[in-house]
Structure 1
Amino acid sequence: MASTAITLAAEAPKLSAANTGFMLIASALVLLMTPGLAFFYGGMVRVKSTLNMLMMSFISIGIVTILWVLYGFSMAFGTDSGSLIGWNSDWLGLSNIGLTELWDGYTIPIFVFMVFQMMFAIITPALISGAIADRVKFTAWGLFVALWATVVYFPVAHWVWGAGGWAFELGVIDFAGGTAVHINAGAAALGVILVIGKRVGFKKDPMRPHSLPLVMLGAGLLWFGWFGFNAGSWLGNDDGVGALMFVNTQVATAAAMLAWLIYEKIRHGAFTTLGAASGAVAGLVAITPSGGAVSPLGAIAVGAIAGVLCAMAVGLKYKFGYDDSLDVVGVHLVGGVVGSLLIGFFASGHGQSDVAGLFYGGGLAQFWKQCAGVFAVLAYSLVASAVLAFLIDKTIGMRVSEDDEVAGIDQAEHAETAYDFSGAGGGAAKTAVAAAVAAESKKVDA
């Protein structure tokens, strides 16, 4: 019996229809997160910027999809070169990949792994857009997405998840994107806003969300899609780790939402819908790197800590004077850092690996590894993103004119508005008033 087991263990993996189907569904769920993000951000801006906010997420789908097919997948997951970048010429344009050729060590085709990772590459630059709402040219944003994906996201994805990447080889734990996605995007957001400056009227004019129902809808879609984002990152369902991640995703998100609301009630005296939505997203961000390593009780702790710290962090922009329009730095950068570093304390040793954190007898060894991954990605993305924004600003210009920003970026950049009231009572009333004025004018002339 023992020899049979050894023989079976030595056999190469075979394509699993179940795991393949699961991963295709997970990929679709991750794609849904980008429109969900668009609604989340779109409801948080003022009416005059709604369409632009939606389009900044949707254009990421178009640009990054094509780049990922052409060379992005090869750069992120191809053969390692110097622990910094990958490359596989056979994957350029997804050429020379067999239909049933398996991803190394797994039971799913390369095409399935490729498209799952494509969805991660799509949403990451879209996350940045919330920080620069209301003031960036759409052409400049599109160029930034293309350059940033190439210079920042593809290499960082290789560091963290690619075989031979330095963070991967060091043992940095990032189950589904705390460093590669959230810290990467949050640090980039900070780098860009330091270059392009504040919105007109920042700290002076009210800039409240125009549609909180839209925000809640977006948060709900993100929460739903995040199960594919997180549980799918184990690439199968054979050992229960994906199920643990699914449970921890729900648990941490609930804990973070409650913690944010409690902090908000104590600090500001009310439970707000924006706080509930933001707290949920903070929990989703924090559990993304850690959910495969911690227990459900650990997930509650991770979510609660992230909920409070992110709620505190969103106010820092007023203290330090950087205009992070929709709190990308406060939620994604801070949430990603918190979730990644807490692995060093709450890793149970009974999840994705036998690595244990400080509270489970493992000492601080994993914590220092997490620090290396977190601060290296943060520094690289911050500096590289600021440089890219500076170069674009000095060539084609990053910002719309002040007049266009004040009048509304939707009309200036897209020649559309989010809501058309001309066919409703307002339009009829205007017509009636105009007719009355004209009639009165004729009387005066007579």
Structure 2
Amino acid sequence: MVTHRSVPFAGALALTLALLGAGCGGTPALGEDTGQGLVLQVTGGSYEDGSGRVGLALLATLRDAGGHAPTESWTGALSDSRGPLGVNLSYPVGGEGGSYGAFWWPDVGFAPGETYALTLTRGDGATLSAHFVAPGGAGLAVPEVDLTPDGERLDWAPVSGAQGYGCEVYAAGNLQLGVSSASPGCDVSALPTGSYSASVTAFGASWDALRADAAQRPKLPAAFHVSEGQFAFARGASGTTARAAATGGGFFYGRVQPGLAVWLSLTRADGTPFAASAPVEVVGPGLSADAPLRFTYPANATHYLLWSYDAQALQGTYTLSASVDGQRLSTRFTLAEPAPLAAPANASATPASSGGARVVWDSVATARSYYVSAWDRAGTFVAGQWSATPDVRFGSGTFSAGKIYDVYVAATDVDESSVSRPERLSVSENTYLPASFTAQ
């Protein structure tokens, strides 16, 4: 039984799930074609990974009168109203009962109301074609994956509308564990010492129901949505387990192209931070392995938000690697077009007695947190403080009397007090309009 395979697609990765078993009954699918003693049914929906991009998902059945898969190879191509989409697939064959094929492509745009057609071709030139109209409405929320405190399981809350889940764990790109289930949870206790990346996928169809239905025309859902969450963890020789979760976004500071912002959490499985700092590298669009974005994750931190003036926020998939507690962690995040966030305006800094200061600014719509940083005229960082409101006070003794300081205010739509990974993020800063004051 083929449970999963991945194939190159347009320079990215197209993920294909093909499970063979025995089939489900009910209302007809949105598209159908008959011929060659076979019936092709197809339905579809959206693929979401939390980045803001929305890809395309497709579910098809190709069965004979006995509900069996074909024994000959059928290759497929997908098109929309404008023409071919450059997507190629192979329907699972082998003659087993209850066959179906589920496919999803993160980089093929999903457009509600658009008509998509799947054409399958056999080796002798015979063809079958069926179409579906992309549904409107919301797709599936992305599974929020985390380790249980004992480090023995991956867990996530039930996703509304999901009929099943897939859990895959990789080491150095090689599949180590692949399971499907009707309920959340994935046991990783049998995995040996090492570093792993996990993918948890929620599906808008029940594989058990499809396998159990031997009809030639099994019931397909009116819409087939897919969502996927990423997670990284490492199992140590001493039994300790480390976890990593990351999100990328845009940093808006007055330039045409926004910089790259990264939210990262590196902790033990129970959520406690590491006592030592950790070196981090990010590679992806515009960031090669020879010239990655490098930064240091601070010691004793449950989460960290960084924004870069040098790395640009380019759309695509990034790989983040960190070394912590003798373990190497690697996880991925995908960046769609970042959502703009206005920079804090009208910032002013007033000195207080004995080396203190107060900084105020106009609130930013949709901002949930602010970070105020003070620098001396030599460009040395002096002090920084997070705040949920547009008003920060630095205590006495922070600044040296008679010296001039520049103050920058950054805003973000992330709640910095929360340890939960945000699905998306944006950061902005008054980079070219700092407030200044002379300390007393």
TM-score (norm 1): 0.21
- Which entry has the higher C-alpha Rg, 1 or 2? 2
TM-score, length-scaled by structure 2: 0.21
Task: Point out which structure has higher relative CO (alpha carbons under 8 A, 6+ apart).
Answer: 1
- Where is the helix percentage greater, Structure 1 or Structure 2? 1
